[in-house]
Structure 1
Amino acid sequence: MKKRNLLKTLLYFSVIIVIIAIIGITFMYYFSFGRFETDEEQFPHYVGYINQEKALLNDTYTLCGDRSIYKTHHGAPDDAFEGGKKQFKNFILSNYKNDSYTDSGYLNFRFLINCEGNAGWFEIIEMNLDLEESPLNKSMVKQLLKLTSDSKNWAIFSYKNQPRNYYMYISYRIENGEIVEILP
């Protein structure tokens, strides 16, 4: 009986050692060969980087603390909207006025929200429906920038019980001057 328990223990121990060895070899392989090289010259910044010197509305508010930006890889759609996305969408659609705009395409805003819930540091990307960069009506863009940047739309994001600066993006799909979809 003792011999059987000893064999069982040795078997479990051997399986654990093999699993640890496989994990170790996998990590060594990844860090030696499997990881893609980053072209630091072509891509000098992190995902979600916004040049704070060139961004629109960069002088209205200040970033808090050490100016670190959270949620840079995907934005903060679940945490960002004050009152939820439905309230944001209702605000935009009820305040947007189509002044005979005929443009169709996507209007994308990438921006930062500081620890006080103030939106600024906007980067704007305008595209046609084929996703090619193409200018949209300046008045329409200005109107949507004003609506999007309204601070009552944005929540304060906290991490470790501290309010933080974070990254966000909004894309408007526009057809014949009308907003048909707001992403995310």
Structure 2
Amino acid sequence: MTKFLYLLFILPLFFSCQSEKTISKYPAHVGDIQFDEKVDDANFKKCFVNPFSFQYYNFDGFQYKGEKLEIEKKLERLNLKSDKNPNGYITIRFIVNCEGKPGMYRIQQMNENYKATVFDKTFTNQLLEFTKSLNEWIPKEYLGIKINYYQYLTFKIKDGKISEILP
């Protein structure tokens, strides 16, 4: 009889240990860019189903043909200037896929005190279009496998003009 009662109490434990699959509303990694059909090019494809992408700092140097100097030369030719004279930073972050093609651009704007702000829309769009025009990103490999990676450009704005590109 005691064995029967023991089994009666233990049996529910076996059924209550079934695992449930939970879906998180949070990305796998901080800062992951999720595809947004409203703003992202439907033709841009990441190279893996796995959402993981490396970060720009996982590699030596800048990952552009001609490096940062080439980007600065291209930007200098445009001579972009805001109609207003703001100071601060505009960061454009994006993914470079295993073929070296960029996509999924995101913009963050801050004043000189690193507080969120909004710059002149025309000026910001010109910077975004300039960044999208950069098409000589270097494909990367890790352990012999072609990978996706995140890259960003931060434009330092002084009196409405770009004074520096970071990093």
* Residue type of the alignment partner of 2:94: F
Unaligned runs of 5+ in 2: 1-23
Give the match for residue 152 of structure 1.
135
* Residue type of the alignment partner of 1:104: N
Q: Could you say what secondary structure the match of 1:97 adopts?
A: coil
Alignment counterpart, residue 64 of structure 1, candidates 47, 52, 56:
47
Give the match for residue 5 of structure 2.
none
Q: Rate the CA distance shift 1:104–1:142 in 2: closer, same or farther, 3 A.
A: same
Q: Conserved in 2, the CA contact under 8 Å of 1:48 and 1:73?
A: no
Q: Could you say what secondary structure the match of 2:148 adopts?
A: strand
Q: Could you say what secondary structure the match of 1:112 adopts?
A: strand
Residue 176 of structure 1, CA deviation? 1.5
Give the match for residue 113 of structure 2.
130
Q: Conserved in 2, the CA contact under 8 Å of 1:76 and 1:166?
A: no
Unaligned runs of 5+ in 1: 1-40
* Residue type of the alignment partner of 2:80: K
The count of corresponding residues between Structure 1 and Structure 2 is 144
Percent identity over paired residues: 26
Q: Rate the CA distance shift 1:131–1:75 in 2: closer, same or farther, 3 A.
A: farther
Give the match for residue 164 of structure 2.
181
2:154 counterpart of 1:164: no
How does the TM-score come out when normalised to structure 2? 0.73
Q: Could you say what secondary structure the match of 2:156 adopts?
A: strand
> d(CA) in 1 for partners of 2:102 and 2:143?
21
Larger helix percent = 1
Q: Conserved in 1, the CA contact under 8 Å of 2:83 and 2:120?
A: no
Report the aligned-residue RMSD. 2.6
Q: Could you say what secondary structure the match of 2:42 adopts?
A: coil
